[in-house]
Structure 1
Amino acid sequence: MNNQTNPRRPRRGSYRPKSETLALLKTSGNTINGVGETKPRRPSPFFWHPPHQHPWGALQIVARENSRKCPGSAEAFQAAYTYPELIPIADTRNEATGEQLTAELISFALAHEADGVGITAVDPLYVFEGYAITEPWVVVLALAHNYERLKEVPSDETNGVGVCDVGDQYAKGTRSSYALVNWIRSQGYSANPYPGPSANALALIPPAIAAGLGELGKHGSLISRYFGSGVRLAGVTTDMPLIATGPDRFGADEFCATCQVCTTACPPAAIAPQKQMVRGVERWYVDFDKCIPYFVEAASCGICIAECPWTRPEVRPKLLATMARRLGQ
């Protein structure tokens, strides 16, 4: 499905945001996100953080209202905010080795709705300004989209299939992260959950990359070798002694350098063809000021991740084989 066959998708360059939407975009998100900055720093709170923490609170409210107009969306996202009570940390610790604890943790997570698990040390650059994380480890959980539902994006009042799948994966992330936190606490260690869709202290994509769950795509989202761009994330921080899983380079970054699929499919033309300097790192970056107005009006959008060739189940194995040859793997 693409812009030509999905009536809910305007062609690239033809979209013009409503004046009332632009009126709520009072400050450039690109500046706050650190575009052009040459020194590394922690990210600033932005969209989906509490409205008082950033300049787009009113716009964020409109985005949520628009997405909830889609059939089934309100129920899907409400489930993402439904979670069990966290248990106290057990008095007795599981004194198994780091290797054993890591294996048990991964096994538990995969048995409790996570589709992938990665582990890495907490880096201060993963923590948003104004927040603190004291645990030394972060566990990132991958929640895979249903491709047949995801490709229905964007949603509107006539079709909520795509945005409902987004809500469903966030709900899975909530359930799986809270279940894992309670398991870790039952083993005598500290742990705290960081699911979406609301943002908190932890930026999820950087540790997901460090932990081997994927590479950053041109569209600014994670590309997984197993799920393509059709994946959501949830995090857990802990002081349980674990073994890092390490990054996974399989060629997505190199592929994005020449692929133009998401760039062409993006109605507001927010996806640049080249990397940019962002907070001291040259990386793929999506123009916030172009993306967010359409995201708000199109009930969360999702076109770029749905159209990504890596997301297509029948294409992904061929891409992996091709890129492995190019990388000499």
Structure 2
Amino acid sequence: MSQPTHPRRPRRGTWKPKPETTALLRVSGNPINGLGETAARRPSPFFWHSPDQHPWGDLQIVARQSSRSCPGSTEAFQAAYNYPELQPVAPVRNPRTAEELSQQVSRFALSHEADDIGIARMDPLYVFEGYTVEHPWVIILALAHDYERLREVPSDETNGVGVCDVGDQYARGTRSSYALANWIRSQGYHADPYPGPSAGALLLIPPAIAAGLGELGKHGSMISPRFGSGVRLAGVSTDMPLVPTEPRRFGADEFCATCQICTHACPPGAITPQKQMVRGVERWYVDFDKCIPFFAEAASCGICIAECPWTRPSVRPKLLQTMAQRTGQK
């Protein structure tokens, strides 16, 4: 359950952003994100893209400064931006079948820091406007949080444990995605990595869900059946022939329909109790204009994913069993 006496977590409805933070919001992010739109379209560049692509560059600076003021966080996030050069594509291709190559990709990824892996066919709707991804396949890597560290969020100048774990998982995502991209290139195929925390060409949550790594949660993040909401993602696009992994329904969506834990735990009240139409899809949506000011001031926050019942290792197996029985899933 939520911890209302947590020293770094204001009660819902009691928190107000600083005037200088509100001033930097400038325009609403909800229309840019496609809230209320009934037709499908590619997403617009958004928060964490280059500041020349959206209106919140100064707010990104505040968010970065807030997180970097926490002990150890500068080093943790710096590691996410340290990556090797991409190697030239080998002239001779691995002749294995798509099934065999998929197995090799999985084995390599899981032995190079990834905790889970999924494969999906590329969809233009996974690519931000103004960007191109030519490859027909996308591999998504999941990096699990340390639950005991994650539950310390949000961080501040006195406690950086939670945000440091966020940085550590992004750094693992960088290392694992670059390692996999270079391995694929060594097999004679093209490949490009897409790690966080900065945004690039590729959305990560939609292909992760398509690849069977989880379901979208009410808090706007993916819920993994293995790690709950405590997971970060990285991607690799490639022209290597692969076999897609299947989407998986395990009851998270149904559970979110009645669970209110993250809704009540969110200090700015950004998590809505019902799904909304976003770029032609009815789905869970978090109010950008309420979320981001708190996110910026609270060192990247993370309360909703830490409080999610699916994230608790002692609770998740019971939830899987209960929802399997309720939804008729095996």
| Same topology, TM > 0.5 | yes
In 1, Cα distance between equivalents of 2:271 and 2:237: 32
The structural deviation recorded for 1:144 is 0.1
Instruction: Quote the Cα distance in structure 1 between the aligned partners of 2:51 and 2:299.
Output: 18
Structure 1: gaps spanning 5 or more residues: none
* Contact 1:21 1:293 (8 Å CA) reproduced: yes
Q: Secondary structure at the match of 1:139?
A: strand
1:147-178 CA-partner distances (Å, limit 9, x unpaired)? 00000000000000000000000000000000
Secondary structure at the aligned position of 1:23 is classed as helix
The amino acid across from 1:164 in the alignment is C
1:106 CA drift (Å): 0.2
Distance apart, 1:191 and its partner CA:
0.1
Deviations 1:51-96 (A, max 9, x none): 1110000000110011000000000000000011111000000010
Distance in 2 (CA, whole Å) between partners of 1:21 and 1:5 is 25
2:3 aligns with: 3
Does the CA contact (< 8 Å) of 1:102 and 1:243 recur in 2? yes
2:270–2:286: 8 Å Cα contact kept in structure 1? yes
Q: Could you tell me how far apart the structure 2 residues matched to 1:188 and 1:6 are?
A: 52
Are residues 1:81 and 2:84 paired? Answer: no
User: 1:80 touches 1:196 (CA, 8 Å); kept in 2?
Assistant: yes
Q: Deviations over 1:253-305 (max 9, x none)?
A: 00000000000000000000000000000000000000000000000000000
- Local SS of the residue matching 1:142: strand
Displacement after TM superposition at 1:4 (Å): 2.1
Aligned letter for 1:80?
A
SS of residue matched to 1:12: coil
How far is 1:6 from its partner? 1.5
Quote the residue 1:310 is aligned against: 310
Q: 3-state DSSP class of the match of 2:282?
A: strand
TM-fit CA distance, 1:21: 0.1
Q: Deviations over 1:101-158 (max 9, x none)?
A: 0000000000000000000000000000000000000000000000000000000000
What residue number does 2:117 align with?
117
Q: What amino acid maps onto 1:172 in structure 2?
A: R
What's 1:266 paired with?
266
In the alignment, structure 1 residue 234 sits paired with structure 2 residue 224: no
Residue identity matched to 1:154: P
Q: What is the deviation of 1:246?
A: 1.2
For the residue of structure 1 that corresponds to 2:96, the secondary structure is: coil
Q: Equivalent residue of 1:92, what SS?
A: coil
Equivalents in 1 of 2:71, 2:79: separation in Å? 15
Q: Would you say 1:42 and 2:42 are equivalent positions? A: yes
Asked if the contact 2:42/2:127 (under 8 Å) is kept, the reply is yes
CA contact (8 A) 2:2 2:261 kept: no
SS for the counterpart of 2:36 is coil
Aligned counterpart, 1:177: 177
Q: Give the stretch that moved more between structures: 132-141 or 2-11.
A: 2-11
Name the aligned partner's letter for residue 57 of structure 1.
G
Q: Which position in structure 2 is the counterpart of 1:126? A: 126
**Would you say the 8 A contact 1:131–1:201 is kept in 2?**
yes
Whether the 8 Å contact between 1:70 and 1:158 is mirrored in structure 2 is yes
Structure 2 partner of 1:165: 165
Look up the match of 1:247: 247
Q: Cα offset for 1:2?
A: 3.5
Q: How does 1:1-329 map to 2 (within 5 A)?
A: 2-329=2-329
Contact persistence 1:3–1:10 (CA under 8 A):
no
**Aligned partners of 1:80 and 1:15: how far apart in 2?**
31
The normalised TM-score by structure 2 is 0.99
CA distance, structure 2, for counterparts of residue 3 and residue 66 of structure 1: 22
Measured on the aligned residues, the alpha-carbon RMSD in Å equals 0.6
* 8 Å CA contact 1:189, 1:238 repeated in 2: yes
Kept in 2, the 8 Å contact 1:3–1:11? The answer is: no
Q: Which runs of 5+ in 2 are unaligned?
A: none
What code does the residue aligned with 1:10 have?
Answer: P
Matched residue of 1:322: which SS?
helix
- What secondary structure is seen at the aligned counterpart in 2 of 1:248? coil
Q: Percent identity?
A: 77
In structure 1, distance between residues paired with 2:69 and 2:176: 27
- Say which SS state the counterpart of residue 250 (structure 1) adopts: coil
The CA distance in 1 between the partners of 2:240 and 2:214, in whole Å, is: 24
Which residue identity lines up with residue 218 of structure 1 in the other structure?
K
Q: Could you tell me which amino acid in structure 2 is paired with residue 16 of structure 1?
A: K
Alpha carbons 1:12, 1:268 under 8 Å: kept: yes
Counterparts of 2:76 and 2:237 in 1: how far apart (Å)? 26
- In 1, distance between residues paired with 2:127 and 2:328? 35
Between stretches 3-12 and 197-206, larger displacement belongs to 3-12
Structure 1 runs (4+) greater than 4 angstroms displaced = none
Q: How many Å separate the matches in 2 of 1:168 and 1:124?
A: 30
